[in-house]
Amino acid sequence: MDSAEQPQIYLISPPVFDLDQFPDLLARVLDSTPVACVRMAMAGRDEDRIARAADALRAVTHARDIALVIDDHVLLAQRLGLDGVHLGDAAKSVRAARKTLGSDAIVGSFCGASRHDGLTAGEAGADYISFGPVGPGALGDGKVADLDLFQWWSEVIEVPVVAEGCLTPDIVRTFAPCTDFFGIGDEIWQADDPAVALAQLVAAMA
Protein backbone atom coordinates (compact mmCIF):
# COMPACT_ATOMS: atom_id res chain seq x y z
CA MET A 1 0.00 0.00 0.00
CA ASP A 2 1.23 3.47 -0.86
CA SER A 3 2.38 5.42 2.20
CA ALA A 4 0.04 8.27 1.28
CA GLU A 5 -2.88 5.87 1.77
CA GLN A 6 -1.70 4.54 5.11
CA PRO A 7 -4.26 4.99 7.90
CA GLN A 8 -3.55 7.61 10.53
CA ILE A 9 -3.26 6.99 14.26
CA TYR A 10 -6.10 8.06 16.54
CA LEU A 11 -4.79 7.60 20.08
CA ILE A 12 -7.20 6.81 22.93
CA SER A 13 -6.22 7.44 26.55
CA PRO A 14 -6.69 4.79 29.24
CA PRO A 15 -9.94 5.12 31.22
CA VAL A 16 -7.88 5.64 34.39
CA PHE A 17 -4.48 7.29 34.55
CA ASP A 18 -2.15 9.05 36.96
CA LEU A 19 -2.17 12.77 36.28
CA ASP A 20 1.37 13.07 37.61
CA GLN A 21 2.77 10.53 35.15
CA PHE A 22 0.53 10.03 32.13
CA PRO A 23 1.04 13.42 30.43
CA ASP A 24 4.80 12.73 30.23
CA LEU A 25 4.16 9.21 28.92
CA LEU A 26 1.74 10.59 26.33
CA ALA A 27 4.33 13.14 25.24
CA ARG A 28 6.93 10.41 24.71
CA VAL A 29 4.49 8.35 22.62
CA LEU A 30 3.46 11.38 20.52
CA ASP A 31 7.11 12.21 19.90
CA SER A 32 7.81 8.64 18.77
CA THR A 33 5.14 8.24 16.07
CA PRO A 34 2.96 10.68 14.06
CA VAL A 35 -0.52 10.86 15.59
CA ALA A 36 -3.50 12.67 14.07
CA CYS A 37 -5.75 12.98 17.11
CA VAL A 38 -5.91 12.08 20.81
CA ARG A 39 -9.12 11.14 22.57
CA MET A 40 -9.38 11.53 26.32
CA ALA A 41 -11.52 8.57 27.33
CA MET A 42 -11.37 9.09 31.07
CA ALA A 43 -13.90 7.14 33.14
CA GLY A 44 -15.96 8.66 35.94
CA ARG A 45 -18.06 11.76 36.54
CA ASP A 46 -15.73 13.86 38.69
CA GLU A 47 -15.89 17.15 36.78
CA ASP A 48 -12.88 18.72 38.51
CA ARG A 49 -10.64 15.70 37.90
CA ILE A 50 -11.73 15.40 34.27
CA ALA A 51 -11.13 19.12 33.73
CA ARG A 52 -7.65 18.97 35.28
CA ALA A 53 -6.78 15.94 33.17
CA ALA A 54 -8.04 17.65 30.02
CA ASP A 55 -5.95 20.73 30.78
CA ALA A 56 -2.84 18.58 31.23
CA LEU A 57 -3.37 16.56 28.05
CA ARG A 58 -4.30 19.64 26.03
CA ALA A 59 -0.94 21.20 26.94
CA VAL A 60 0.81 18.10 25.57
CA THR A 61 -1.24 17.71 22.39
CA HIS A 62 -1.53 21.35 21.39
CA ALA A 63 2.22 21.87 21.83
CA ARG A 64 2.54 19.27 19.05
CA ASP A 65 -0.35 20.63 16.95
CA ILE A 66 -2.43 17.49 17.59
CA ALA A 67 -6.19 17.67 18.12
CA LEU A 68 -7.64 16.62 21.49
CA VAL A 69 -11.22 15.41 21.80
CA ILE A 70 -13.04 14.18 24.88
CA ASP A 71 -15.52 11.36 25.38
CA ASP A 72 -19.13 12.59 25.57
CA HIS A 73 -18.65 15.74 27.71
CA VAL A 74 -19.83 18.35 25.19
CA LEU A 75 -20.03 21.26 27.63
CA LEU A 76 -16.58 20.52 29.06
CA ALA A 77 -15.13 20.36 25.56
CA GLN A 78 -16.52 23.82 24.92
CA ARG A 79 -15.47 25.27 28.28
CA LEU A 80 -11.94 23.86 28.23
CA GLY A 81 -11.17 24.82 24.65
CA LEU A 82 -10.78 21.27 23.41
CA ASP A 83 -10.97 20.44 19.72
CA GLY A 84 -14.15 18.43 19.93
CA VAL A 85 -16.06 15.50 21.34
CA HIS A 86 -16.36 11.76 20.72
CA LEU A 87 -19.94 10.58 21.28
CA GLY A 88 -20.62 7.05 22.42
CA ASP A 89 -24.37 6.95 21.71
CA ALA A 90 -24.25 6.41 17.93
CA ALA A 91 -26.23 9.16 16.18
CA LYS A 92 -28.41 10.27 19.07
CA SER A 93 -26.59 13.43 20.15
CA VAL A 94 -24.60 14.39 17.05
CA ARG A 95 -26.88 17.27 16.01
CA ALA A 96 -27.02 18.71 19.54
CA ALA A 97 -23.23 18.51 19.93
CA ARG A 98 -22.70 20.19 16.57
CA LYS A 99 -25.12 22.98 17.52
CA THR A 100 -23.32 23.54 20.83
CA LEU A 101 -19.74 23.33 19.58
CA GLY A 102 -20.11 24.92 16.16
CA SER A 103 -18.95 23.99 12.71
CA ASP A 104 -15.21 24.09 13.43
CA ALA A 105 -15.27 21.52 16.25
CA ILE A 106 -14.61 17.81 15.71
CA VAL A 107 -17.70 15.70 16.38
CA GLY A 108 -17.15 11.96 16.18
CA SER A 109 -19.60 9.14 16.72
CA PHE A 110 -19.05 5.57 17.91
CA CYS A 111 -21.53 3.29 16.15
CA GLY A 112 -20.51 -0.20 17.24
CA ALA A 113 -21.04 -2.53 14.32
CA SER A 114 -24.14 -0.80 12.95
CA ARG A 115 -24.06 0.41 9.36
CA HIS A 116 -27.41 2.12 9.94
CA ASP A 117 -26.15 4.06 12.97
CA GLY A 118 -23.06 5.08 11.04
CA LEU A 119 -25.10 6.41 8.13
CA THR A 120 -27.44 8.26 10.48
CA ALA A 121 -24.56 9.85 12.39
CA GLY A 122 -22.90 10.90 9.15
CA GLU A 123 -26.11 12.49 7.92
CA ALA A 124 -26.44 14.29 11.27
CA GLY A 125 -23.07 15.96 10.76
CA ALA A 126 -20.45 13.70 12.35
CA ASP A 127 -16.89 14.36 11.13
CA TYR A 128 -15.97 10.70 11.51
CA ILE A 129 -17.59 7.39 12.40
CA SER A 130 -15.93 4.85 14.68
CA PHE A 131 -16.77 1.15 14.42
CA GLY A 132 -15.63 -1.56 16.77
CA PRO A 133 -14.50 -3.70 18.31
CA VAL A 134 -12.82 -5.11 15.23
CA GLY A 135 -11.45 -8.12 17.11
CA PRO A 136 -13.12 -10.71 19.35
CA GLY A 137 -13.52 -9.89 23.03
CA ALA A 138 -15.92 -10.09 25.95
CA LEU A 139 -16.82 -6.39 26.09
CA GLY A 140 -20.26 -5.06 25.19
CA ASP A 141 -22.60 -7.49 23.44
CA GLY A 142 -19.74 -9.36 21.78
CA LYS A 143 -20.69 -8.11 18.32
CA VAL A 144 -17.67 -7.44 16.11
CA ALA A 145 -17.42 -4.79 13.38
CA ASP A 146 -16.26 -7.01 10.54
CA LEU A 147 -14.10 -6.36 7.52
CA ASP A 148 -17.11 -6.30 5.17
CA LEU A 149 -18.50 -3.24 6.96
CA PHE A 150 -15.24 -1.32 6.50
CA GLN A 151 -14.84 -2.41 2.89
CA TRP A 152 -18.38 -1.26 2.07
CA TRP A 153 -17.94 2.01 3.97
CA SER A 154 -14.64 2.88 2.32
CA GLU A 155 -16.10 2.24 -1.14
CA VAL A 156 -19.46 4.01 -0.71
CA ILE A 157 -19.24 6.63 2.07
CA GLU A 158 -17.01 9.71 2.18
CA VAL A 159 -17.17 10.27 5.97
CA PRO A 160 -13.85 9.10 7.48
CA VAL A 161 -13.98 5.88 9.47
CA VAL A 162 -12.04 4.70 12.54
CA ALA A 163 -11.38 1.03 13.37
CA GLU A 164 -10.96 0.47 17.10
CA GLY A 165 -11.09 -2.18 19.79
CA CYS A 166 -9.09 -5.41 20.24
CA LEU A 167 -6.49 -4.52 17.61
CA THR A 168 -3.60 -6.86 16.90
CA PRO A 169 -0.88 -6.59 14.24
CA ASP A 170 -2.75 -9.17 12.12
CA ILE A 171 -6.02 -7.25 12.38
CA VAL A 172 -4.25 -3.96 11.59
CA ARG A 173 -2.67 -5.58 8.52
CA THR A 174 -6.08 -6.84 7.35
CA PHE A 175 -8.04 -3.63 7.94
CA ALA A 176 -5.41 -1.12 6.79
CA PRO A 177 -6.63 -0.94 3.16
CA CYS A 178 -10.18 0.04 4.19
CA THR A 179 -9.99 2.33 7.21
CA ASP A 180 -8.89 5.96 7.54
CA PHE A 181 -7.79 5.71 11.18
CA PHE A 182 -6.93 3.12 13.78
CA GLY A 183 -8.17 3.95 17.28
CA ILE A 184 -5.40 2.62 19.49
CA GLY A 185 -5.67 2.61 23.28
CA ASP A 186 -5.34 -0.30 25.70
CA GLU A 187 -3.36 -2.18 23.07
CA ILE A 188 -0.36 0.02 23.90
CA TRP A 189 -1.01 1.41 27.38
CA GLN A 190 -0.95 -2.07 28.92
CA ALA A 191 2.44 -2.78 27.34
CA ASP A 192 5.76 -2.30 29.13
CA ASP A 193 6.76 0.33 26.56
CA PRO A 194 3.75 1.96 24.85
CA ALA A 195 5.92 3.65 22.21
CA VAL A 196 7.36 0.29 21.12
CA ALA A 197 3.90 -1.31 21.13
CA LEU A 198 2.57 1.51 18.94
CA ALA A 199 5.47 1.17 16.54
CA GLN A 200 4.69 -2.55 16.14
CA LEU A 201 1.08 -1.80 15.22
CA VAL A 202 2.13 0.94 12.81
CA ALA A 203 4.63 -1.41 11.16
CA ALA A 204 1.78 -3.83 10.45
CA MET A 205 0.07 -1.22 8.25
CA ALA A 206 2.86 -1.14 5.70
CATH number at residue 80: 3.20.20.70
Residue 204 pLDDT exceeds 50 = yes
At residue 2, the pLDDT reads 36
Domain count, the chain: 1
**Long-range contacts at 189-198 (CB < 8 A, ≥ 24 apart):** 189/13, 189/14, 189/17, 194/25, 194/28, 194/29, 195/28, 195/29, 195/32, 195/33, 198/9, 198/29, 198/32, 198/33
At residue 139, the pLDDT reads 61
In this structure, the dihedral spanned by the alpha carbons of residues 87, 19, 63 and 35, taken in order and rounded to 10 degrees, is: -50
CA dist 38 → 1, 9, 92, 124, 203 (Å): 25, 9, 23, 23, 20
Instruction: Tell me the residue range of the domain where 177 lies.
Output: 3-203
At residue 140, the pLDDT reads 64
Residue 3 pLDDT exceeds 60 = no
Residue 146 pLDDT exceeds 50 = yes
Instruction: Provide the pLDDT confidence category of residue 137 given band limits of 50, 70 and 90.
Output: confident
Question: Which pTM value belongs to this model?
Answer: 0.95
Tens digit of pLDDT for each residue in 78-106? 999 999 999 999 999 999 999 999 999 99
